[in-house]
């Protein structure tokens, strides 16, 4: 036996003892979790590139061919309008697009330039901002040698035919990276006055990357997300606390998702005849088949993005659904064949999500909701949200467990916080991801009886950071995910634990109803919390939203000594409790004595520490802070419990015994 092996035995013994204590005092479940991020698992293998079937006929399955008409009422300000004609080439690797885009100046100042997001250029080289920050990896999905892509603008003209391409300038306002071409500024020929509009014509080519980051191809499957030149958001004064109006523009970053303005989309999509298309919005014309191609016409209004997916292998299912807050929606499933038998589970998850979100927060106003299941190997396209269209996990497993339902529920939750409330994911991602993660847990509990292990989730918080900061300011994707998904959710649960479930529901419903289609900020949400609760929440938001604090409390020390009181032998027990982070309402402290007596104290935690002195006819056995873990922002629960020190006489015997044990162990190491 070597000294290293002895050390291992000692460490294992200590671990077993600690585990035993945790189980004895109710902490055993802290080692288990039912929580998962709604992010895609690692793709085990990539399908080799294969050209799209040229002459194959569509599979003999139901086609998504329901024609609808737009509703007359407007729900948003509709700042922008797109008319797009896009074709998927036979190789299923390239898009050819033409678009007419009209932008209305929503401000009170004359505007002299427009900004366009050209997101496919993030994959142009390994020197773009996205690729350098992500390291060619998003979540657990990695770029391949085929994961390069780009967007080439072939034409940019006025309605009169004047070319504006010479006026286009690529800009990098966040990092000055000259190799990044994801944001372009266009100097207009004439300044645009408030309330006036400008219409431009554009044509472009997109080379799709092999999918690893939301868009691209995998075999014959295509995910077209962030695929067209998109006008940036011009924020008016008062929007998200702005004191003066102006453009909100950023490059495509490794952690960042997106931010766009509401508008109208009319999109004509041409694909090889064997393909089926899923897209934002609804079809306004029957599918047209000619010249070995299939043409779809989609329309969507009061949305801020448009995405579509295509595959010759989709198994299509559709169901009409109505409920409270859901006047009528067609739920459309585009299933990978390996998950076709799971259609009822996908449909149940979608209905459960829609029903609960509509009941809790407000009406789902759209007439369609599409769910796309990517094939095995296309994990980078999975677990993503777009207006009226979401992608589930890729079909890696024949029986994915509750990850199937959880992902669908999470992504549909985005229809509210990303889709309708439309937070700025560049600068305040927690308002989308954190709110969606919170809502997801509520649906999973209501529909499937699954409750999150918040104690364990809090322990994952090893690198807390402020929530109100740009997405790319986080040090890594892990830190980004820990904070904007998990810590943000815990901040919301922390509010709920203080105000109660009913009041929290009122807070979130009020926030949604007040700010849907309005792009709110963190300060807007704080004001709603304060208005509903009629309480100031400045300290709470300062600590946990604008700062990086957690609410860690510890039993710092316990001292027990025999005393006499009125001639009777008693024990004086002194317990020192310490606050190691922020405050989070009253914290319960439980002290148990050897005769079974328990004493509970509630500490407001206004100071950094407090000392409790108890004189009792039995010695203190142990003390614990927050035994029921009502303080969900405590990320170091291991220091919440302490066994009391033994009385002096017992301690002497224990010390002698410990000395003999250590002496024996040291003796075994001699040679």
Residue positions annotated with a catalytic role:
411, 485
Confirm or deny that 433 is annotated as ligand binding. Answer: yes
Confirm or deny that 81 is annotated as ligand binding. Answer: no
User: Measured between alpha carbons, how far is 525 from 468 in angstroms, rounded to an integer?
Assistant: 12
User: Measured between alpha carbons, how far is 394 from 392 in angstroms, rounded to an integer?
Assistant: 6
- End-to-end distance of the chain based on CA atoms, in angstroms? 11
Q: Do the bridges between strand 308-311 and strand 221-224 make them parallel or antiparallel, or are there none, so unpaired?
A: antiparallel
- CA-wise closest residue to 233 among 257, 261, 209, 205: 261
Phi, psi of 314 (to 5 degrees): -55, 135
Distance of CA 495 to the CA centre of its chain: 19
Decide: 612 and 624 in contact? Cβ < 8 Å.
no
User: Measured between alpha carbons, how far is 318 from 61 in angstroms, rounded to an integer?
Assistant: 12
Six token digits for residue 645? 């020190």
Q: Do the bridges between strand 598-603 and strand 308-311 make them parallel or antiparallel, or are there none, so unpaired?
A: unpaired
Decide: 412 and 386 in contact? Cβ < 8 Å.
no
Distance of CA 582 to the CA centre of its chain: 24
Six token digits for residue 612? 């409790």
Q: Token match 């029903």: residue?
A: 355
Confirm or deny that 83 is annotated as ligand binding. Answer: no
Six token digits for residue 627? 């035994």
Q: CB neighbours of 382 closer than 8 A, spacing ≥ 6? A: 40, 374, 391, 392, 393, 394, 407
Alpha helical stretches, state H, 516-635: 522-533, 538-544
User: Measured between alpha carbons, how far is 200 from 228 in angstroms, rounded to an integer?
Assistant: 14
Burial of 102 (0-12, 13-18, 19+ CB in 10 A): middle
User: CA angle 181-185-187, nearest 5°?
Assistant: 150
User: Measured between alpha carbons, how far is 435 from 490 in angstroms, rounded to an integer?
Assistant: 10
User: Measured between alpha carbons, how far is 91 from 326 in angstroms, rounded to an integer?
Assistant: 40
Q: Which residues are annotated as a binding site?
A: 410, 414, 433
Q: Which residues are annotated as a binding site for Zn(2+)?
A: 410, 414, 433
């Amino acid at each position: 036996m070597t000294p290293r092996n002895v050390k291992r035995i000692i460490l294992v013994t200590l671990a077993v003892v600690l585990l035993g204590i945790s189980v004895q005092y109710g902490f055993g479940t802290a080692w288990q979790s039912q929580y998962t991020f709604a992010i895609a698992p690692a793709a085990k293998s990539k399908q080799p590139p294969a050209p799209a079937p040229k002459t194959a006929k569509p599979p003999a399955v139901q086609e998504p061919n329901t024609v609808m008409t737009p509703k007359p009422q407007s729900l948003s300000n509709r700042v922008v309008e797109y008319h797009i004609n896009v074709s998927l080439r036979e190789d299923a690797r390239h898009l050819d697009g033409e678009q007419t885009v009209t932008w209305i100046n929503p401000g009170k100042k004359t505007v002299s330039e427009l900004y366009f997001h050209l997101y496919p250029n993030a994959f142009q080289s390994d020197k773009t901002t996205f690729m350098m920050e992500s390291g060619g990896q998003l979540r657990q999905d990695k770029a391949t040698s085929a994961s390069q892509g780009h967007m080439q603008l072939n034409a940019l003209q006025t309605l009169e035919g004047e070319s504006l391409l010479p006026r286009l300038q690529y800009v990098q306002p966040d990092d000055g990276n000259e190799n990044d071409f994801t944001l372009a500024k266009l100097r207009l020929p004439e300044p645009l006055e408030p309330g006036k509009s400008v219409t431009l014509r554009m044509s472009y080519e997109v080379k799709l990357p092999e999918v690893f980051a939301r868009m691209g191809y995998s075999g014959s499957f295509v995910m077209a997300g962030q695929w067209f030149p998109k006008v940036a958001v011009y924020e008016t004064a008062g929007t998200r606390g702005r004191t003066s109006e102006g453009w909100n523009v950023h490059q495509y970053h490794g952690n960042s998702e997106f931010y766009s303005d509401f508008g109208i989309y009319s999109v004509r999509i041409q694909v090889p005849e064997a393909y089926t298309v899923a897209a934002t919005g609804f079809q306004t014309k029957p599918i047209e088949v000619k010249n070995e191609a299939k043409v779809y016409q989609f329309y969507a209004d009061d949305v801020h993005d448009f995405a579509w997916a295509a595959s010759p292998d989709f198994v299509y299912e559709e169901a009409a659904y109505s409920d409270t807050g859901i006047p009528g929606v067609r739920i459309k499933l585009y299933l990978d064949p390996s998950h076709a038998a799971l259609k009822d589970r996908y449909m149940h998850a979608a209905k459960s999500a829609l029903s609960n979100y509509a009941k809790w927060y407000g009406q789902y106003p759209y007439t369609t909701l599409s769910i796309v299941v990517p094939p095995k190997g296309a994990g980078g396209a999975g677990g993503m949200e777009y207006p009226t269209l979401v992608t589930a996990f890729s079909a890696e497993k024949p029986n994915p467990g509750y990850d199937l339902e959880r992902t669908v529920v999470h992504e549909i939750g985005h229809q509210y916080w990303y889709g309708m409330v439309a937070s700025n994911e560049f600068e305040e991602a927690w308002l989308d991801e954190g709110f969606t993660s919170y809502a997801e847990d509520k649906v999973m509990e209501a529909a499937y009886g699954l409750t999150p292990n918040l104690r364990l989730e809090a322990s994952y918080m090893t690198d807390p950071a402020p929530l109100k900061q740009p997405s790319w300011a986080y040090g890594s994707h892990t830190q980004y995910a820990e904070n904007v998904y998990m810590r943000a959710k815990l901040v919301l649960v922390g509010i709920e634990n203080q105000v109660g479930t009913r009041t929290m529901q009122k807070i979130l419903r009020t926030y949604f109803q007040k700010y849907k289609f309005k792009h709110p900020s963190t300060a807007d949400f704080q004001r709603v919390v304060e208005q509903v609760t009629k309480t100031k929440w400045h300290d709470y938001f300062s600590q946990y939203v604008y700062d990086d604090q957690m609410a860690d409390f510890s039993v710092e020390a316990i001292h027990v000594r025999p005393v006499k009181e009125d001639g009777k032998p008693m024990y004086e027990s002194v317990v020192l409790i310490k606050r190691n982070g922020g405050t989070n309402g009253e914290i319960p402290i439980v002290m148990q004595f050897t005769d079974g007596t328990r004493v509970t104290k509630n500490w407001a935690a206004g100071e950094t520490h407090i000392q409790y002195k108890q004189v009792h006819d039995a010695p203190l056995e142990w003390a614990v802070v927050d035994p029921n873990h009502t303080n969900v922002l405590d990320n170091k629960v291991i220091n919440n419990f302490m066994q009391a020190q033994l009385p002096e006489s017992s301690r002497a015997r224990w010390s002698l015994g410990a000395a003999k044990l250590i002496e024996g162990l040291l003796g075994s190491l001699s040679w």
